[in-house]
Amino acid sequence: MSDKRTGAQILCEALIQNGVDTMFGLPGGAIMPFYHAMWEYRSELRHILCRHEQGAGHAAEGFARSTGRIGVCIGTSGPGTTNLVTPIADAWMDSTPMLAICGQVSSAVLGKDAFQETDITGITMPITKHNYLIKRVEDIAYAVKEAIFIATTGRPGPVLVDITKDALQASMVPDYSKKIFLPGYRPTYQGSKKQIKAALELMLQSKKPVMMIGNGVMMANASDEVMAFAERYQIPVITTLHGLGAFPQDHPLSLGMPGMHGWVHVNRAIQESDFLLNIGGRFDDRVTGKASTFAPNASIVHVDIDPSEIGKNVEVDVPIVGDAKLVLLSMLEEEPEETKVAQFQQVAAEWMVYVRELQAKHQHKQQYLNRPDTSVMMPHDVYAVLTKEMNERGNYRVVTDVGQHQMWAAQLLDWYRPRTHITSGGAGTMGFAMPAALGVAVAHPEDTVWVVCGDGGFQMTNQEMIVVVQENIKNIKIAIINNGFLGMVRQWQELFEGKRYSGTPLTSPNFQKLAEAYGWTGITVESGDQIEAAVQQAYATDGPVLIDFRVEREVNVFPMVPQNKSIGEMITE
């Protein structure tokens, strides 16, 4: 293999060597040499042509989030790469391992405002874990290796590699052997034994303990260890938005989601707790409400692989820097006195009884479901049918967008398996769902991938529907919760701004006809009694299906914590 290769061929080979088999992107002038080369490697390196680079970026995110593997997206220089900025920012906020490969103008004209030149490394510096501007063919192979290593280790995140056209065109005898040398990058995986002992001691002294699990548990594939730890000590488990599915919600120890649209009993449990073990969550303001009022009585243990997250938003009693899985394994190795453990289990069980009483009193889930008059189609009716049909068939993954429908999905659908709930959390990127689902469906052809989306967000990226057709993907079904508003903003306007619906009423195209124009099956549902038949038809159809659920327009997501209020102060209706 001492033959010369072009930089573009080397790029393909380096990607394959580092475990990449699927990429999402669009070609253009500067990235053309890469597209020319990838044709030779197409049996090992599948390229999926998207319709907009933002779609390619979100698809790569969906691929990464549902598999834990690196998601790869491609854009050409200039607008091709600036279109990647939103998904890169989204991946940054949600710690998604992503590699963005960008074409750049030739090094000879770099810095001279050449056609389609944009300083994409400068632009993405604050939203990437690291980025590279590669101007020499000699640097391509190593940059790919290092970029994927950085993106997938420690706290995962997006890494961007910008390669000039002349570097892609130049040739050399490739050398893939250079070892990774990153003296400034040493993620800590093993938690400190001393801290772990201290954390357990604190826990065993507590009377109202809770455990909260977040995205870090998902990233570390630590669901089994969470289960083992929770059962060993009988400690109640709270799952954040990105933790949904990491702990099965039908487990007797599962409490549900906290935060702005979390359940009352979960937020109450946090506020009354005297011990909170947060594993792999970053105390986002949507979880904590006003941070200074969060869990006022609790000793807090925070396990996170990123030291900068510890103490950033909430003060912590015992910090543990490490990988969620390895820290939990170390915690399980500890053997406190059995009498102490038994005593703790008993106390925790009593506390659990109390929290379950709170839940019985406040659980909001059933409010709209058992009402006598179902002629008006509430969003909740749609979710009830989706839940039933999904559970009957199993093997589902749900990708949600951002807004009311997203919170309802988190609240009302059932989450049992890790990596089955995929959403844009930190960045809150409307338009995420449809393209992200493309990535999920490609990675999991055996599962039914449901897109649950609002009518607003859907219109931001619906062009990616045609990619599903071009790639002959059949396992995507879309449920649009269509209320004719940018609903979450409308809800705030209703609750806090005297119903001044400024900029929120929304006209949509006929989604059924749109679906049909794209070669999908389209269904419109206008009343509650049609929901079940529509969902069953979607399942029965061998191909992509879109259902437009024209739900009651002015419905709010409750419970709700108003911004900058304590999570103890919830509005419930």
Partner 1 sequence: MKTHILVVLMQDHPGVLNRAVSMFRRRGYNIASLAVGHTETAGISRMTVVVESDHVEQVVKQLYRLVEVLKVSDVTDDPTVEREMALVKLHVPSQQRAEIVALAEVFGAKIVDVSVTAMVIEMTGGPAKVDNFIDMVRPFGIKEMMRTGRIAMVRGARGHSGADLVDTGWQNDVAGAASAAAQ
Q: Which residues bind partner 1 (CB under 8 A)?
A: 121-122, 125-126, 129-130, 133, 149-150, 152-153, 179-187, 189-190, 220, 306-308, 311-312, 323, 325-326
Q: Give whichever of 171 and 188 is closer to partner 1, judged by the CB atom.
A: 188
Residue pair 229/332 in contact (Cβ under 8 Å)? The answer is yes
Distance of closest approach, residue 216 Cβ to partner 1, in angstroms: 11
* Residue with smaller CB distance to partner 1, 328 or 525: 328
Beta carbon of residue 340, minimum distance to partner 1 (angstroms, whole number): 30
* Active-site pick, 165, 208, 325, 477: 165
Task: Report the nearest approach of partner 1 to the CB of residue 120 (Å).
Answer: 12
> Per the residue annotation, which of 44, 115, 334, 554 is the catalytic one?
115
Q: Identify which of residues 325 and 419 has a Cβ nearer to partner 1 in the complex.
A: 325
CA distance 534 to 523: 7
488 is catalytic: yes
Contact 207, 201 (CB under 8 A): no
Residue 34 CB partners (closer than 8 Å, separation 6+): 8, 11, 12, 27, 74, 101, 103, 163, 168
Rounded Cα distance between 173 and 564, Å, is: 59
- Is 165 designated active site? yes
Residue nearer to partner 1 on the CB measure, 63 or 368: 63
Using alpha carbons, select from 496, 471, 480, 495 the residue that is nearest to residue 554: 495
Judge whether 116 counts as a catalytic residue. Answer: yes
Q: Which of 116, 205, 345, 530 is catalytic?
A: 116
Q: Which is nearer to partner 1, 68 or 336 (CB)?
A: 68
Question: 212, 352, 488, 560: which one is catalytic?
Answer: 488
Beta strands 171-172 and 5-6 are antiparallel
- Could you give the C-alpha distances from 349 to 92, 252, 267, 296, 453, in angstroms and in order? 39, 11, 18, 22, 39
CB closer to partner 1, 93 vs 238: 93
Q: Kindly report the CA angle at 78 between 73 and 79, in degrees rounded to 5?
A: 70
Q: Which of 77, 180, 96, 86 is nearest to 134 (CA)?
A: 77
Clarify whether 53 is annotated catalytic. Answer: yes
| Whether 267 contacts 259, CB under 8 Å | yes
Q: Which amino acid is at 506?
A: L
Strand partners, 300: 276
Phi, psi of 115 (to 5 degrees): -55, 130
In whole angstroms, the minimum distance from the beta carbon of 324 to partner 1 comes to 9
The span from the CA of 54 to the CA of 435, in Å, is 8
Shortest distance in whole angstroms from residue 180 CB to partner 1: 7
3 state DSSP class of 522:
strand
Spell out the residues 6+ positions from residue 96 whose beta carbon is closer than 8 angstroms to its own.
Answer: 61, 64, 65, 71, 90, 156, 157, 158
Catalytic residue among 13, 53, 61, 225: 53
Q: What is the DSSP letter of 311?
A: T
Instruction: Closer to partner 1 by CB, 170 or 310: give it.
Output: 310
Least CB distance from residue 223 to partner 1, whole Å? 14
Q: Which is nearer to partner 1, 310 or 451 (CB)?
A: 310
Sheet-wide strand order for 130-134: 46-49, 22-25, 71-75, 98-104, 158-164, 130-134
For this structure, is 195 an active site residue?
A: no
Active-site amino acid positions: 53, 115-116, 165, 488
